[in-house]
Amino acid sequence: MEIYDLIVIGGGPAGYLAAERAGHAGLKTMVVEKNEFGGVCLNEGCVPSKTFLNSAKVVDYANHAAKYGVKVDGKATVDQKFVVERKNGVVKMLVSGIKAALKKNKVVMKSATAFIEGKDVNGYIVKAGEEKFSAKRLLIATGSTAVVPPIPGVKEGVTAGYVLTNKEVLDLTELPKNLVVIGGGVIGLELTSYFSSVGVNVTVIEMLDKIAGPTEKEISSILQKSLERKGVKFNLGCKVVAVEKDGVVFERDGKQEKVPADKVLLSIGRRAVSANIGLENIGVNIERGAIVTDDKMQTNVANVYAAGDVNGKIMLAHTAYREAEVAINNMLGKKDIMRYNVIPSVIYTNPEVGSVGDTEESAKARGLDVKCVSIPMTYSGRYVAENTDLDGICKLVINKATNTLIGAHIIGSYAGEFIVAVSAMVDLEVDIENIKKLVFPHPTVCEIVREAIFQA
């Protein structure tokens, strides 16, 4: 049996990056993937949805071209088949890039289903397809899968193909007339943004009384209004009771209503994939389906690590990247720990949202004395020059005791790109007086942060 220093199970963002780093550091590494390298993020999540959303942005621009003094004859529409083909091309290119990076770092890529059989003197025994391998260390990076709730009609709809998750919806080559989105979280909203821009009637049914989960209230309300302007209907505080072939039945204040649908998108969250990997054969602790890890990404079992969605902490690809690095550094004996308090998040709707750190609510719940400032994005010259809908805002949360920024929440163009700059200020606990001395390029949208700091 061939012995590896490290076997990584799962080739998504956590798995491929960990394998790449481990290979680079000289560990004899194999990564086993049962589907396509790149995982959900690259093949059926983050990246494909961004190709869709970019097409929607082009449609939005074309249909509002007159507002910018540009004449366009007729209405812009998408060629959905082409959008899917382009998406497939983008995914193919990026997957080949990942494979090339793994190859360059001498990582063995194995396309198979991995199963941990147990342990012997050489290490952990991993069956991959029909072969068996031994590993001194394991990294579990098996990711997550969409939650399919036990709502009547959902299972039948999935089988028949009219109930879709993020995976199937990104392969739709024909646009539905009426799309019902169950769950107004990140996936639901990004796809709502796409489908509403390209002319589909979209109705969102969300259990909570606001969209976008933990997003700052002011921001989620602006996002909701902006999507409503595109014709999206939101049913908040509503419970789906049944999915039928021609529509979705839900309850509002105890009364049932039905909304027509020819396709239904399920986006009510994701759950870790921890079953059928053989984790029980080596005694790895699992809580509510997710692998329990410490801040070094170690499980309760020696030399067994877990990174990415499978540990159920923060299900974001960039969290997975960092967790992967922390795991590998610890395997290599380098001091490194994972911190979850300053992880930026982006909702790639149009307009997009970038957030990091505390909201006013979460800071107050932590008992902090905070000063908050919320200013319109119109303080930015570039924002005004480039937009006609001008309702974006930038909200900052400042810890009065330390005079540092502890949260930033921005809705408007490029927010997803420049949130990382604010994230660095939060992470490095830069004193507000020092932020004031930073020079921002002018005119940029990110100048809004400097302006908000001075307004505060």
Where in the sequence numbering do the catalytic residues fall?
442
Q: Look at residue 296 and give its three-state secondary structure.
A: coil
Q: At its nearest, how many Å lie between ligand NAI and the CB of residue 11?
A: 18
Q: 12 is written with which tokens?
A: 């998504």
Q: Nearest to residue 289, comparing CAs of 113, 128, 147, 137?
A: 147
Q: Restricting to residues 227-286, which ones interact with ligand NAI according to CB under 6 A?
A: 240, 267-270
Q: At its nearest, how many Å lie between ligand NAI and the CB of residue 25?
A: 29
Size of the site for ligand NAI (CB under 6 A): 26
Q: 74 is written with which tokens?
A: 């007729």
Q: Nearest to residue 178, comparing CAs of 158, 192, 165?
A: 192
Q: Using an 8 Å Cβ cutoff, are 356 and 407 in contact? A: yes
Nearer of residues 213 and 376 to ligand NAI, judged by Cβ:
213
Q: Is 423 an interacting residue with respect to ligand NAI (CB under 6 A)?
A: no
Q: Using an 8 Å Cβ cutoff, are 145 and 270 in contact? A: yes
Q: Is 215 an interacting residue with respect to ligand NAI (CB under 6 A)?
A: no
Q: Is 347 an interacting residue with respect to ligand NAI (CB under 6 A)?
A: yes
Q: Is 222 an interacting residue with respect to ligand NAI (CB under 6 A)?
A: no
Contacts of 116 (CB under 8 A, 6+ apart): 9, 124, 125, 126, 127, 138, 277, 278, 279, 281, 282
Alpha helices per DSSP H over 184-287: 186-197, 217-229
Q: Is 345 an interacting residue with respect to ligand NAI (CB under 6 A)?
A: yes
The stretch among 82-90, 124-132, 203-211, 275-283 that binds ligand NAI (CB under 6 A) is 203-211
Q: Is 3 an interacting residue with respect to ligand NAI (CB under 6 A)?
A: no
Q: At its nearest, how many Å lie between ligand NAI and the CB of residue 83?
A: 18
Phi-psi label, residue 402: left if phi above 0, alpha if psi -120 to 50, beta otherwise? alpha
Q: At its nearest, how many Å lie between ligand NAI and the CB of residue 12?
A: 12
Burial of residue 220 (number of CB atoms within 10 Å: 0-12, 13-18, 19+): buried
- The single residue among 70, 72, 100, 208 that binds ligand NAI, judged by CB under 6 A, is 208
Q: Which residues of 148-164 are buried (b: 16+ CB within 10 A; e: fewer)?
A: eeebebbeebbeeebbb
Nearer of residues 124 and 348 to ligand NAI, judged by Cβ:
348
- The single residue among 184, 247, 308, 412 that binds ligand NAI, judged by CB under 6 A, is 184
Q: Is 352 an interacting residue with respect to ligand NAI (CB under 6 A)?
A: no
Q: Using an 8 Å Cβ cutoff, are 206 and 236 in contact? A: yes
Nearer of residues 135 and 205 to ligand NAI, judged by Cβ:
205
351 backbone dihedrals φ, ψ, rounded to 5°: -75, 155
Q: At its nearest, how many Å lie between ligand NAI and the CB of residue 2?
A: 36
CA 274, 276, 278 angle in degrees (round to 5)?
A: 90
Binding characters for ligand NAI, 288-327, by CB under 6 A (x = yes): ---------------------------xx-----------
Q: At its nearest, how many Å lie between ligand NAI and the CB of residue 126?
A: 28
Site residues for ligand NAI per CB under 6 A: 46, 149, 182-188, 190, 205-208, 213, 240, 267-270, 315-316, 345-348
